[in-house]
Structure 1
Amino acid sequence: MKKIIFLMMLAIASVSLTSCVNDDDGYYEVPNIVNTGQITYKNVTFPLRNAVVSDIEKADGGFYYSVVLSQYPVPRDGRLNGPYLYMEIFQRGDLLFNGNYITNSNDRGLDYIEYFENPMMLNNVPVTGSGTLEVYDNQFDSGNLFLENYFDGYDRSLLNSAFSIRDISGSTLTGNFNGLFLFNQKYDKSVSLMKADSSKVERVKTGKRRQVN
């Protein structure tokens, strides 16, 4: 019996050591990160625990991204439970990513917005008519999205976000997110690679989703 107890204690000690980091001063534990956030629309609130930022296109003197916020990881195909907020933003090439993205801005623009609840996904895009609630870009009037990519004391990349978006009826979609996120990067964002006159570029806003899959 004593031998069994000893082996159990040894196994627990081994697991504990794997969750520690070794430095010059010895071992220290790295705390887990719990993503936090919520989204509220028409008096209904959901938690937000998942965020994905992706490069879409390098054009118009800057970069286009998609920003997806949801309660659960978004499947390529199949049912997604809970909220799905999809936004496309534009970052002028001589600016940094962190900042406020605003509707109709040529500097940091919030260009496209979709909001679904419980949609069916097909090739990473919600199927029209499949959600319990669907609000499309032409039903939103204006909005503001704050994004901040920062690193914690353990050099982990995190996203801090807050948003307030008004629809054409006057209702407001609000929320926030903070935590680990997935960044799908395709382009080098070095400011020195972009032309200094990028602020003079007039962008064409089509009102259509740029990222289709």
Structure 2
Amino acid sequence: MTSPAAIAKATPLRVVPPLEGVDLAGAERAAAEFLAALGLASSGATADTPRRMARAYAEMLTPRSFDLTTFPNDEYYDELVLARAIPVQSVCEHHMLPFLGVAHVGYLPGRRILGLSKLARVVELFARRPQVQERLTKQVADWLHAHLQPRGVGVVIEAEHLCMTVRGVRAGGAHTTTSSLLGTLREDPRSRAEFLALTTSSPATSGGRHG
């Protein structure tokens, strides 16, 4: 018989993003009509553009399923765990143009620790959908706080929005920074300062745990 301790060590949480079904054929037809309405009828070299558009947006808006693998904090590690410069690729919900950047995600462990690659998976889970950066930042922090139950969570996202750089004000190179801090990282000034300092310093070359 498997002991409760063994189950706690081995059982991951399967995270399956909510999928409402993707109609690629319908999206392709709509893309062709959209281009035609803009005076960009698909022909010659662009004959296959509607199909490529449909597949590209389906990929950008579909996060992958993953296992949220956690491990008992047997060593009682109580310092900050931080994954820096996690790639962020999302789509602005107002203009359906991409915004690209990086996320710095950290937490103060409680009873369990997390495979570092899963921090990137959680970012993707909420990024691969129409978004605003402020909501994305808070959703990642709230989700980790609820499922990992750490003593604190911090998320900082820095991104360039194409809806701002290629249209409108055309402010090329402008970046937006958002943050969400929960638990000890919000309430304790020293922990808060440490996290924010580490997310703005130069990356250090070091080893790490991956899972």
Question: Please, what TM-score do these two structures have when normalized by structure 1?
Answer: 0.26
Higher RCO by CA contacts (8 Å cutoff, separation 6 or greater): 1
Q: Normalized per residue, which structure has more helix?
A: 2
Question: Please, what TM-score do these two structures have when normalized by structure 2?
Answer: 0.26
Q: Normalized per residue, which structure has more strand?
A: 1
